[in-house]
Amino acid sequence: MVTQRHKVLFEPSGQRGWVDDGRTIMEAARDLGVDLQSLCGGKGICGKCMVAIEDQTSILPPAGTDVDMVSQMDQQEQSYFEKHPFPPEYRLSCLAKIHEDIVVRIPEESCTSGQLVFKPIRGLSVELFPAVEKHDLSLPSLGDSESNWDRIRLFLSEQIHLHDVSADFRALCHSSRELSRSPRLSSTWVWMDRELIQIGMDPEVKTYGLAVDLGTTTLAAYLCDLQSGDLTATESSVNPQVVYGEDVLSRITYAMEHPDGAAVMHRSIIQGINRIIHRLAARVGFEKNSILDMCVVGNTCMHHLFLGMAPDTLGCAPFVPAVRQSLDVKARELGLEMADGAYVHFLPVVSGFVGADTIGMILAENPQKCEGNVLLIDIGTNGELVLSGHGRLLCTSCATGPALEGANIQCGMRASVGAIEKVRIDPETLKVSYKVIGEDHGHDANQDCGIRPVGICGSGIIDAIAEMFLAGVVGRNGRLIEDARSRLVRTEDGGLAFVVAGKEDTSFGRPIFISQKDVRAVQLAKGAMHAAARILMRKAGVERLDRIILAGAFGNVINPESAAVIGLFPNCGCENINSVGNAAGEGARMALLNRNRRNEADEIERKLEFVELAAFPGFDREFADAMYLPHREDAHSRTPTGYPDGGRQGENSGKQRRT
Amino acid sequence: MVTQRHKVLFEPSGQRGWVDDGRTIMEAARDLGVDLQSLCGGKGICGKCMVAIEDQTSILPPAGTDVDMVSQMDQQEQSYFEKHPFPPEYRLSCLAKIHEDIVVRIPEESCTSGQLVFKPIRGLSVELFPAVEKHDLSLPSLGDSESNWDRIRLFLSEQIHLHDVSADFRALCHSSRELSRSPRLSSTWVWMDRELIQIGMDPEVKTYGLAVDLGTTTLAAYLCDLQSGDLTATESSVNPQVVYGEDVLSRITYAMEHPDGAAVMHRSIIQGINRIIHRLAARVGFEKNSILDMCVVGNTCMHHLFLGMAPDTLGCAPFVPAVRQSLDVKARELGLEMADGAYVHFLPVVSGFVGADTIGMILAENPQKCEGNVLLIDIGTNGELVLSGHGRLLCTSCATGPALEGANIQCGMRASVGAIEKVRIDPETLKVSYKVIGEDHGHDANQDCGIRPVGICGSGIIDAIAEMFLAGVVGRNGRLIEDARSRLVRTEDGGLAFVVAGKEDTSFGRPIFISQKDVRAVQLAKGAMHAAARILMRKAGVERLDRIILAGAFGNVINPESAAVIGLFPNCGCENINSVGNAAGEGARMALLNRNRRNEADEIERKLEFVELAAFPGFDREFADAMYLPHREDAHSRTPTGYPDGGRQGENSGKQRRT
């Protein structure tokens, strides 16, 4: 008899894999190296391992049968929840057995250490001028034949000097009931000075806007108070579309190959945002109609899928989007659980592969207003690059694959608790030291500590490869150098690998290593990125960069020196490299809080020149060259020195100090 | 054991009543006098009695149980439908037994005679200038970074000279898929020269608009070809809201007393329109996205319920509507099954009790552009009156109750097959002759013929009371005069009644009569109508009417002379009375086919002065006076002569000839 296996996805870490039918959720978490508390040792007493089974009607294809996703509660679990009432989706992971593909959300309390907010923004200051403004209403008495709406219009025109305001028809529907109860006192919310989108009875209620960054892998949301402009709360989750493909191209393929594919992924991402809204509402305490505005960024594929547009044309040349302009769409048309009359503003996209996230990043960082030549890089599943120089604003996109985010790497994982995020290798002894996310300080591999590593995330991988190169374990061409000194091992598939953490040190009894394949994946990614940057520089006639801005969650944690060692981007001196966190999300927040920024974003879209890499003469050569690790005469000496940049270009001889 | 009883509503006649559990639909039809064929005598062989059980999820409150509304098919019925496949809602009425409240639709083929189209329009000529226009598209080749929408915009701007066209975002969604299949050839539909609402691949496909009249009792729809302007087809049905109350006030009460009442009635009327669309689609042969525009009229309560607005404020002073302006609402927001991007245009309403149907009527008949003083009357469940005279345009509304439409009358019914629609009483012998809808000629009560009467409709009631008055059976004060000659009978409740058709002549073995109560109901109705007309005349300083226009289905069949005998409206000479059919629907059709008429409707709304009857000094006195039947010296002589008009006003001495 063949045992059935089910796909399990853990949120918010995004860890996922296959488990045998009948395994408990706790066992699955252990198998997959997911951080989950347990004090009572799986007896169903402590409740520390409580998880929520996500409603996944739109996340996974319908099961077709009525079988429960997880086992019914046994007596022990029932008695626990009788004493500690929770919503019905909550289960004890040590007792609930898996019988279907499921999505499991681990609440903050059930992690051994707090979970990370994956996409921090800096919260740059922005003048408050939101698209939605509140006007408290003091209505004249009812006339004989005036309608409620006549009276509101008169008020807005005479008292607020907003003329020709139209009304969202649902707002009219609600107002008819509201005003029949209390005909005089209430508040109106007007969008862009031209449309009444809500009327409410309580002038004191707080109202919010949500800035949303739709990442291929991660959804990040920033809740802002529309009266004060404060960033009230941040939430993120895995993009539930990951089950349809890890990267943009596989999602497009899914949409093209399944008659309902785009619609399914549309519902999935909308439901993902709605779940975030529910969690924010529970944390902050508000009703869904308190969210009166939303500003969204994301790559062009996410843009299309979020709006319900077929991404088919993004999948084949000439890769044109359905629409580039910024859009204002009623939230209810998308099924978003916000105020009924609210709009969603999606920033413009530039091309099939440069999306609104790039526009948001430019809006936040304003490279075009800086002195000198500035390169702005967002490293995600795709790399987006923007170069400002010589009065031009150029952009391009390159497929880096998910390697730099820790995916498609044999021991890779996202930057969540348990991930090795920093690596150092003694060039003499090849002894490895590393730092694990969730612990305060680094530690030696042999020394036991609170958190055992579960995998290695993007910044850890770049660190590891840079250090392996410096220690002579990897050559310039990316080959692992097998000799007595390098102490390489063979992986299950027979490939060579360098062990970062031995099996005795990990939480799941297997070693964490960097394989030859992993090095190749990183080479492809960094080669694409580096070549793309050089093409932009050639196009703009820029010879030297004055500044590099690294955006995205990954850019925030990357070690610039290691990046320089492997040649992730043209050299510009480590002191000139800034990490700015999620600049795309920051841009969405700015556009949320200041409507003029939306116009600015539209202007940026018009100014921005898209450079098609494949069409650029010499790109292949650039790419092939950039696959090599940079020249380094003294690669094997581990003294604090600088590292010359990408040798073949030979334009750099500066020295940088490791910090 | 108490037998359960169920409410059964037959469409399109609107006949309804209670039947015992387990009765067949055929038996229920016989009980209620509904016209339904049967050749095989209930053996389930001929299929002539086939009916459709309407999906009533939103029509009746949910049953709460899973009990089938009608019995499962027995072997006989199954074998019939195996040989003659029909959609699952079709059943043989002689075999299907009733087990729940149901709505039964009788298809045309199952009536012994063709069913009437209840709300004919005249199809006045109107210049074709629809809001939605088609532009066949010839797109330039795909550029490198232009979006599909960029290319369409360019085409509309350069080729059609439509600048600044926006796009419905759903249309964009569809276009992304359409254009990826065939990037060059397709058609665009643009609404009001400013919004792209649909893009389609087949430039040859016919497109339609629907003019809809939402009556309290009847929904009427007129399907027009948007390219030719032709009236392609007409459909009507009972307003499914009738189960929540016969008249506007009881619907408002239902909405106020049930937390979800307005929403339930909203869904019910939308579903009613959708059913009409399905039937039209089946008859004419089109897809739902071929309907690209809709223009709607209806009284203010229907307006609110159709749009999903709470009608609460219409139920108490000062009876203000939520909104008066004309509205353009996306059809999909209302759940209408038309093209996804299509708009619904609702003509403006005037006050809580004068709706868009009145505006539509004025738009069609243009009394303000006629010479002299013109009174326009729409007699429905409410009476709406418009007076044009001395440069002013006045309107009002009066509650006539449903008596004039044959409801709330003991033997009353709608003007459908089997209804007595004309009555004549010999003033000497009191012998009654009548005409039944569905037969070609009138016949004597004693003479057998094809169609036996089922009830009496509004025009028959007015005829009957006028003839009873002329024959001396009713006095001026409305009392039935009980003497040897009048041969009155006693009804079951002990009241007096005059028999129009004896039990031996009817299809259900009981007599059809006019009772004292019925006369009172008609007096109230006609009193309200007459008084309202006189108030408008006083307000405008008009002493004499030059013309009366009767609109509405009822106005179309009323005998003007009988109306004059009972004093339904101020006298103006029968030759000056026109019946124009469903002028409100006609106005909707005009606004559908010519967008300028929409602006005209808005202007009419601004010009129209609403007169609040209750607030008008002297209304009560007017009303009390108008309750009397008009003076008539020679009421008992049945020679062909004229009849002096409403004596108390004493302004008429003209003689009219009965035609």
Choose the closest CB to A180 out of B167, B310, B610: B310
Residue A329 pairs in a beta bridge with A344
Choose the closest CB to A177 out of B175, B310, B329: B310
Q: What is the pLDDT of residues B110-139, one digit of tens each?
A: 665 444 445 677 778 899 999 999 998 776
With beta carbons under 8 A apart, name residues in chain B contacting A312.
176-177, 180
Q: What is the pLDDT of residues B632-652, one digit of tens each?
A: 643 333 333 333 333 223 223
How do A343-346 and A382-389 pair as beta strands? Answer: unpaired
Residues B629 and B543 in one domain: yes
**pLDDT over threshold 70, residue A618:** yes
B286 inside domain: yes
Beta strand ranges found along A554-608 (DSSP E): 577-579
B304 or A141, which is more confident: B304
Contact indicator for B327, B295 with CB cutoff of 8 Å: no
Residues B384 and B422 in one domain: no
Range ranked top by mean pLDDT from A13-27, A278-292, B401-415, B642-656: A278-292
Beta strand ranges found along A353-405 (DSSP E): 374-379, 382-389, 392-399
**For chain B, how many helices (H) and strands (E)?**
16, 28
B357 inside domain: no
Q: A323 and B143 in contact by Cβ < 8 A?
A: no
Closest alpha carbon to A245 in A237, A231, A235, A257? A257
With beta carbons under 8 A apart, name residues in chain A contacting B311.
176
Residues B50 and B88 in one domain: yes
Disruptive mutation site among B178, B309, B326, B336 for chain A (greatest number of A CBs within 10 Å): B309
Beta strand ranges found along B488-540 (DSSP E): 489-490, 496-501, 512-515
Q: B172 and A322 in contact by Cβ < 8 A?
A: yes
Distance, in Å, from the CA atom of A453 to the CA atom of B189, rounded to the nearest integer, reads: 60
Closest chain B CA to residue A330: B169
Average pLDDT over residues A162-189: 79
Ranges B25-29, B327-331, B474-478: which has the least confidence: B25-29
Range ranked top by mean pLDDT from A526-540, A627-641, B110-124: A526-540
The CATH number for B391's domain is 3.30.420.40
Residues B86 and B14 in one domain: yes
> How many domains does chain A fold into?
1
**pLDDT over threshold 60, residue B485:** yes
Residues B382 and B332 in one domain: no
Beta strand ranges found along B400-521 (DSSP E): 419-425, 432-436, 443-444, 455-456, 489-490, 496-501, 512-515
Structural tokens at position A244: 């349809």
- pLDDT confidence bin for A312, thresholds 50/70/90: confident
Domain that includes residue B62, residue range: 5-110
A313 to chain B, minimum CA–CA distance in Å?
Answer: 6
In Å, how far are A392, B36, B60, B348 from B267, measured between CA atoms?
56, 29, 11, 22
A63 inside domain: yes
Closest alpha carbon to A590 in A356, A393, A266, A282? A356
B262 to chain A, minimum CA–CA distance in Å?
Answer: 10
Closest chain B CA to residue A350: B145
Contact indicator for B518, B441 with CB cutoff of 8 Å: no
With beta carbons under 8 A apart, name residues in chain B contacting A296.
none
Closest chain B CA to residue A344: B169
Secondary structure element (H or E) that encloses residue A261, with its range:
helix A261-280
Q: A312 and B180 in contact by Cβ < 8 A?
A: yes
B240 to chain A, minimum CA–CA distance in Å?
Answer: 21
Say whether the peptide bond before residue A107 is cis (omega within 30 degrees of 0).
Answer: no
* Beta-sheet strand order (sheet of A443-444): A443-444, A432-436, A419-425, A455-456
Q: What percentage of chain A carries pLDDT values higher than 70?
A: 85
The dihedral formed by the CA atoms of B83, B84, B90 and B92, expressed in degrees to the nearest 10: -70
Disruptive mutation site among B141, B180, B328 for chain A (greatest number of A CBs within 10 Å): B180
Residues B565 and B625 in one domain: yes
B174 or A220, which is more confident: A220
Closest alpha carbon to A572 in A374, A324, A334, A282? A374
Q: B313 and A612 in contact by Cβ < 8 A?
A: no
Q: What is the pLDDT of residues A378-390, one digit of tens each?
A: 887 778 999 999 9
Secondary structure element (H or E) that encloses residue A322, with its range:
none
A54 inside domain: yes
Choose the closest CB to B169 out of A149, A167, A327: A327
Q: How many CB pairs under 8 A join A and B?
A: 132
Residues B188 and B219 in one domain: no
Average pLDDT over residues B232-245: 84
The CATH number for A14's domain is 3.10.20.30
B590 or B397, which is more confident: B590
Say whether the peptide bond before residue B12 is cis (omega within 30 degrees of 0).
Answer: yes
Regarding an ipTM greater than 0.95, the answer is no
A106 inside domain: yes
In Å, how far are A179, A353, B24, B73, B95 from B41, measured between CA atoms?
58, 71, 13, 18, 11
Distance, in Å, from the CA atom of B472 to the CA atom of A343, rounded to the nearest integer, reads: 69
Q: What is the pLDDT of residues A68-94, one digit of tens each?
A: 788 888 888 888 888 887 778 889 988
- pLDDT computed for residue B232 by the predictor: 94
Structural tokens at position A562: 């290691």
Q: What is the pLDDT of residues A211-247, one digit of tens each?
A: 999 988 889 999 999 999 999 999 988 788 877 877 7
- pLDDT confidence bin for B145, thresholds 50/70/90: low
- pLDDT computed for residue B114 by the predictor: 40
- pLDDT confidence bin for A103, thresholds 50/70/90: confident
How many CB atoms are located within 10 Å of the residue B400 CB? 26
- pLDDT computed for residue A132 by the predictor: 96
Q: A145 and B350 in contact by Cβ < 8 A?
A: yes
- pLDDT computed for residue A460 by the predictor: 93
Instruction: Please enumerate in sequence order all residues whose Cβ is within 8 A of that of A615, keeping only pairs 6 or more positions apart, or say none.
Output: B144
With beta carbons under 8 A apart, name residues in chain B contacting A322.
147-149, 172-173, 175-176, 179
Residues B393 and B417 in one domain: no
Disruptive mutation site among B199, B266, B313, B343 for chain A (greatest number of A CBs within 10 Å): B313
Distance, in Å, from the CA atom of B180 to the CA atom of A314, rounded to the nearest integer, reads: 9
**Which residue is associated with the tokens 């199952």?**
B110
Domain boundary among B180, B200, B220: B200
Residues B495 and B644 in one domain: no
With beta carbons under 8 A apart, name residues in chain B contacting A149.
322-325
Residues B380 and B483 in one domain: no
Closest chain A CA to residue B263: A173
**pLDDT over threshold 50, residue A654:** no
Residues B281 and B139 in one domain: no
Choose the closest CB to B351 out of A145, A311, A312: A145
A333 inside domain: no
- Burial of B511 (C-beta count, 10 Å sphere; 0-12/13-18/19+): middle
Disruptive mutation site among B144, B179, B354 for chain A (greatest number of A CBs within 10 Å): B144
Instruction: Please enumerate in sequence order all residues whose Cβ is within 8 A of that of B59, keeping only pairs 6 or more positions apart, or say none.
Output: B103, B240, B243, B268, B271
Ranges A171-180, A321-330, A492-501, B19-28: which has the least confidence: A171-180
Residues B496 and B395 in one domain: no
The CATH number for B150's domain is 3.10.20
How do A50-53 and A102-105 pair as beta strands? Answer: antiparallel
A55 inside domain: yes
B659 inside domain: no
Model pTM score: 0.77
